[in-house]
């Protein structure tokens, strides 16, 4: 058992797992993945690469990132990482606490005093372990670099897994001024059995859009109000600045907002339908169109939104879906018209917006893990611990020199401190 | 602003011309043992860097955002960071002069490709506004510059013993070239990793998820892993010299694919970048 555990958590296995994740990650980036909602792209890829598609199909490469074997590899990697982190931390602790290395090389006729002075000037700290024995070190904390990096990676990996496993999300759809009560249905949910729920009523109070001169949005923010039992509390959320409230995060989505036409439609059977026909935000002032037809019984209609009067002074145009040759029937608010056998009243205009709502643990430990990885990475590169041990003897000074990780990279520094260039000197 | 953009392209071309001269002089001076020519080449490169800085400044002012969106901006910024890096290194580290033989032509290529792609200005998409994106991109610029330097030392190490290398003067010995390629691969690993993490933070604030196996994200992780494998192989398995340099070349190819090719995949969230 111990041997299996040892081999699973060896450095060699970690490297092999990194290579495994790299190879299949690259394949997963090349082959569209159904698990990432890329079914349409996959169909095109299969058409363009029939031979590769057969191989990928046989090997089950269309859902790599959610496959049991890929997730198992990641889990084993996490275990290997955890054990490597413990081992590295113990090794760093030993290196941190260990006495200086035994000096071996003799500098004949030298004395320790000037060397110590030069080392101090070069930024080394001096510790006298015994009379005539000095341990000089610089950036000694750098022995922790690998350990810090691995702690950060472990924390990030564990917290990322926790976040991925526990986060639930939904999309809330609002018309201007609409209140969402607890328990109301969402526009879309990731997991219908456990949707996120703030537990208080909240309301959409409008979008604020500033644009570049071309009409492209520059900044988009939304005003939302939350009822705390006594009063409505107003909060703002914008793209790139989600709102964290009651253990939930609310995101404003770029492009998921715009104008709408509120319609009352009477079908051929006399039944009444209330419809909110959505149009996405217009960037260039040109008319915009519904992205999918609206089905009213057996009839489908589509709309054109032209608030700037480019095509017609009346902002709303309606026609039967798919009948591209037909000129749309145009309406202004309050108008009623016949469209594809339906009686349509354009009641009013409205604003709409959709927000992502997520319930998740705090993301801060993940970002703390990231910061620790960053620190460890920089320490690995820039914080190379160097140690010079001097011992005065009858014939001169014996010394040892050690620069971790970058063997021979600090030879010139060592030579400058020792005041000599000696070919017989070798670092460990 | 439009005037700034009209001038900016000319200033960019001037920087390109100076880099071309600098690369030519340094190559000629180094291979023909003409130190004065080499020195003149370095001076021209420094003047070119100053002019390139002006060009990017004008671009920033004219476009209304930092130079990190279009192919023109990204390649030019990569060229600038690499040139700035190598100039700083020349001032600080002895024995780094010879690296210019590799890096100056690389910078010339990057800036040439940048100008070739055309200076069309694009508005910054909404999700591209924010400090995390700026940090994300900036760390990748530094990582890529470090990768070029690391590759430069690695390639110079690989050419040791060839007739070409025999003609180059002012290069450190093979062991030093090998060591420096290792050092800069470490820096690439560090900044690439930090770039990836700041990208994850940006993605979390923009799209509500910090990781989504997006092609660009995945290739970036793959590249980081390969540099990680390189560092482990060197430190714990004693791989160095030619084998290490070849692994580094492989890592660099992945870095190039990751930064400049994967964003063309239509399924990528990064498809607004580098187009």
Number of domains in chain B: 1
Chain B hits for A190, CB-CB cut-off 8 Å, are: none
Average pLDDT over residues B236-251: 90
Chain B hits for A218, CB-CB cut-off 8 Å, are: 126, 129
CB spacing of A160 vs B218 below 8 angstroms = no
The pLDDT, as a whole number, for residue A422 is 46
Closest CA in chain B for residue A382: B187
CB spacing of A242 vs B229 below 8 angstroms = no
Residue B59 domain-assigned (yes or no): no
Residue B48 domain-assigned (yes or no): no
CB spacing of B213 vs A29 below 8 angstroms = yes
- Angle between helical axes of B71-92 and B100-117 (0-180°, round to 10): 160
The helix (run of H) or strand (run of E) holding residue B100 is: helix B100-117
Among A297-306, B87-96, B262-271, the least confident range: B262-271
CB spacing of A169 vs B204 below 8 angstroms = no
The pLDDT, as a whole number, for residue A276 is 94
Chain B hits for A356, CB-CB cut-off 8 Å, are: 208
Chain mean pLDDT for chain A:
88
The pLDDT, as a whole number, for residue B265 is 65
- Selected residue of B172, B185, B213 to mutate for chain A interface (largest A Cβ count, 10 A): B213
Residue B148 domain-assigned (yes or no): yes
Count of other CB atoms within 10 angstroms of residue B94: 8
Q: List, for residues B113-130, the tens digit of each pLDDT value.
A: 999 988 888 888 888 888
The pLDDT, as a whole number, for residue B193 is 92
The pLDDT, as a whole number, for residue B136 is 94
- List CB contacts of A45: < 8 A, sequence separation 6 or more: A31, A32, A53
Q: Quick one: what percent of chain B has pLDDT higher than 70?
A: 93
- List CB contacts of B251: < 8 A, sequence separation 6 or more: B147, B185, B188, B223, B226, B227, B230
Residue B266 has pLDDT above 70, yes or no: no
Question: Quick one: pLDDT band at residue A421, thresholds 50, 70, 90?
Answer: low
More confident residue, A64 or A406: A64
Question: Quick one: pLDDT band at residue B274, thresholds 50, 70, 90?
Answer: low
Residue B153 domain-assigned (yes or no): yes
Would you give the DSSP letter of residue A36? G
Encoded tokens for A363? 């993301």
The pLDDT, as a whole number, for residue A274 is 93
Question: Quick one: pLDDT band at residue A194, thresholds 50, 70, 90?
Answer: confident
b/e sequence A25-45, b meaning 16+ C-beta within 10 Å: bbbbbbbbbeebebeebbeeb
Chain B hits for A370, CB-CB cut-off 8 Å, are: 197-198, 200-201
The helix (run of H) or strand (run of E) holding residue A105 is: strand A105-108
The pLDDT, as a whole number, for residue A424 is 40
CB spacing of B219 vs A241 below 8 angstroms = no
Distances B39 to B19, B43, B45 between C-alpha atoms, Å: 14, 6, 10
Chain B hits for A33, CB-CB cut-off 8 Å, are: 213
Most confident of A107-111, A365-369, A379-383, B119-123: A365-369
Count of other CB atoms within 10 angstroms of residue A56: 19
Most confident of B45-49, B162-166, B255-259: B45-49
- Angle between helical axes of B2-31 and B71-92 (0-180°, round to 10): 50
CA distance A389 to chain B (A): 24
Question: Quick one: pLDDT band at residue A427, thresholds 50, 70, 90?
Answer: very low
Distances B171 to B109, B165, B166 between C-alpha atoms, Å: 22, 9, 10
The pLDDT, as a whole number, for residue A428 is 31
Give the B window 162-221 contacts with A, CB below 8 Å: 175, 179, 182-183, 186-187, 189-191, 193-194, 197-198, 200-202, 204-208, 210-213, 215-216, 218-219, 221
Give the B window 224-253 contacts with A, CB below 8 Å: 225-226, 228-229, 232-233, 235-236
Average pLDDT over residues A35-41: 79
State how far the Cα of B99 lies from the Cα of B82, in Å rounded to an integer: 12
Q: Does domain A99-139+384-418 have CATH number 3.30.310?
A: yes
B197 closest CB neighbour out of A18, A216, A373: A373
Chain A hits for B193, CB-CB cut-off 8 Å, are: 373-374, 377
Residue A335 has pLDDT above 90, yes or no: yes
Average pLDDT over residues B50-56: 96
Question: Quick one: pLDDT band at residue B224, thresholds 50, 70, 90?
Answer: very high
Residue B105 has pLDDT above 90, yes or no: yes
Query: What phi, psi does A214 have (nearest 5°)?
Result: -80, -10
Chain B hits for A21, CB-CB cut-off 8 Å, are: 221-222, 225
A240 closest CB neighbour out of B198, B205, B265: B205
Closest residue by Cα to residue B64 from A425, A218, A56: A218
Q: List, for residues A137-162, the tens digit of each pLDDT value.
A: 888 888 999 899 999 999 999 999 89
Q: How far is CA A22 from the centre of its chain?
A: 18
Among A316-330, A373-387, A400-414, B18-32, the least confident range: A400-414
| ipTM higher than threshold 0.90 | no
Most confident of A26-30, B55-59, B229-233: B55-59
Q: List, for residues A213-226, the tens digit of each pLDDT value.
A: 777 788 899 999 99
Average pLDDT over residues B127-155: 92
The pLDDT, as a whole number, for residue B51 is 97
CA distance B25 to chain A (A): 30
CA distance A377 to chain B (A): 5
Closest CA in chain A for residue B233: A15
State how far the Cα of B213 lies from the Cα of B211, in Å rounded to an integer: 6
Q: List, for residues A351-364, the tens digit of each pLDDT value.
A: 999 999 999 888 89
Average pLDDT over residues B216-237: 90
Q: Where are the alpha helices (DSSP H) in B118-240?
A: 131-159, 163-167, 174-207, 215-237
The pLDDT, as a whole number, for residue A423 is 42
Residue-range definition of the domain harbouring residue B149 = 125-272
Closest residue by Cα to residue B202 from B68, B98, B76, B83: B68
Give the B window 17-76 contacts with A, CB below 8 Å: 64
For chains A and B, count residue pairs whose Cβ atoms are closer than 8 Å.
128
Residue A18 has pLDDT above 70, yes or no: yes
CB spacing of B206 vs A240 below 8 angstroms = yes
The pLDDT, as a whole number, for residue B142 is 95
Residue B154 domain-assigned (yes or no): yes
The pLDDT, as a whole number, for residue B134 is 92
More confident residue, A243 or B172: A243
The SS3 call for residue A410 is coil
Closest CA in chain A for residue B263: A29
Average pLDDT over residues A108-121: 88
Q: Where are the domains of chain A?
A: 2-90, 99-139+384-418, 167-257+355-366, 258-350
């Amino acid at each position: 058992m111990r041997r299996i555990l040892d081999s699973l958590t060896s450095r060699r296995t970690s490297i092999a797992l990194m290579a495994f994740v790299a190879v299949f990650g690259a394949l997963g980036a090349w082959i569209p993945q159904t698990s990432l909602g890329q079914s349409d792209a996959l169909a095109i890829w299969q058409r363009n690469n029939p031979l590769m598609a057969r191989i990928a199909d046989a090997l089950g490469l269309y859902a790599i990132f959610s496959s049991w074997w890929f997730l198992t590899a990641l889990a084993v990697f996490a275990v290997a990482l955890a054990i490597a982190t413990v081992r590295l931390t113990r090794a760093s602790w030993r290196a941190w606490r260990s006495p200086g290395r035994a000096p071996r090389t003799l500098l004949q006729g030298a004395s320790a005093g000037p060397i110590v002075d030069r080392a101090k000037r070069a930024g080394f700290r001096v510790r006298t372990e015994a009379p005539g024995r000095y341990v000089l070190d610089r950036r000694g904390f750098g022995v922790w670099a690998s350990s810090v990096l691995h702690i950060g990676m472990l924390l990030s990996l564990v917290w990322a897994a926790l976040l991925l496993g526990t986060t639930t999300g939904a999309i809330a759809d609002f018309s201007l001024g609409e209140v969402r009560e607890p328990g109301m249905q969402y526009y879309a949910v990731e997991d219908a059995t456990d949707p996120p729920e703030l537990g208080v009523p909240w309301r959409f109070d409008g979008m604020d859009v500033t644009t570049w001169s071309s009409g492209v949005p520059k900044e988009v923010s939304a005003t939302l109000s939350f009822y705390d039992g006594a009063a409505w509390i107003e909060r703002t959320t914008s793209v790139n600045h989600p709102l964290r409230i009651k253990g939930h995060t609310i995101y404003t989505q770029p492009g998921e907002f715009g104008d709408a036409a509120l319609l009352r439609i009477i079908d051929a059977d006399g039944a009444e339908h209330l419809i909110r026909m959505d149009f996405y935000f217009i960037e260039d002032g040109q008319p915009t169109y519904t992205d999918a037809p609206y089905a009213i019984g057996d009839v489908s209609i589509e709309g054109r939104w032209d608030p700037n009067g480019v095509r017609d002074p009346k902002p709303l145009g309606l026609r039967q879906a798919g009948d591209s040759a037909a000129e749309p029937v145009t309406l202004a608010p309050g108008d009623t018209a016949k469209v594809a056998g339906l009686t349509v009243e354009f009641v009013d205009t409205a604003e709409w917006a959709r927000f992502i709502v997520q319930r998740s643990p705090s993301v801060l430990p993940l970002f703390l893990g990231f910061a620790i990885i960053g620190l460890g990475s920089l320490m690995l590169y820039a914080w190379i611990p160097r140690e010079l041990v001097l011992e005065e003897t009858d014939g001169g000074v014996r010394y040892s020199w050690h620069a971790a990780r970058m063997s021979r990279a600090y030879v010139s520094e060592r030579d400058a401190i020792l005041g000599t260039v000696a070919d017989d000197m070798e670092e460990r | 602003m439009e005037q700034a953009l009209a001038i900016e392209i000319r200033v960019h071309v001037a920087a390109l011309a100076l880099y071309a001269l600098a690369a030519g002089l340094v190559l000629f001076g180094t291979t023909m043992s003409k130190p004065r020519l080499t020195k003149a080449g370095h001076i021209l490169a420094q003047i070119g860097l100053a002019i390139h800085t002006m060009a990017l400044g004008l671009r920033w002012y004219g476009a209304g955002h930092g130079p990190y969106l279009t192919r023109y901006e990204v390649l030019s910024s990569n060229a600038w960071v690499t040139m700035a890096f190598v100039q700083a290194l020349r001032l600080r580290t002895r024995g780094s002069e010879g690296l210019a033989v590799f890096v100056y032509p690389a910078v010339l290529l990057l800036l040439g490709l940048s100008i070739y792609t055309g200076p069309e200005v694009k508005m910054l998409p909404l999700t591209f506004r924010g400090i995390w994106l700026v940090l994300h991109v900036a760390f990748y610029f530094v990582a890529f510059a470090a990768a070029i330097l690391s590759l430069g030392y690695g390639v110079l190490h690989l050419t040791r013993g060839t007739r070409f290398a025999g003609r180059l003067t002012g290069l450190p010995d093979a062991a030093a070239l090998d060591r420096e390629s290792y050092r800069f691969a470490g820096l690439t690993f560090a900044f690439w990793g930090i770039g990836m993490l700041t990208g994850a933070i940006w993605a979390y604030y923009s799209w509500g998820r910090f990781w989504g196996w997006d092609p660009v994200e995945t290739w970036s992780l793959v590249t980081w892993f390969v540099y990680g494998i390189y560092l482990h192989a060197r430190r714990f398995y004693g791989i160095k010299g030619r084998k290490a340099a070849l692994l580094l070349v492989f890592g660099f190819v992945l870095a190039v694919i990751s930064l400049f090719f994967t964003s063309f995949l239509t399924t990528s969230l990064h498809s607004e970048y580098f187009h």
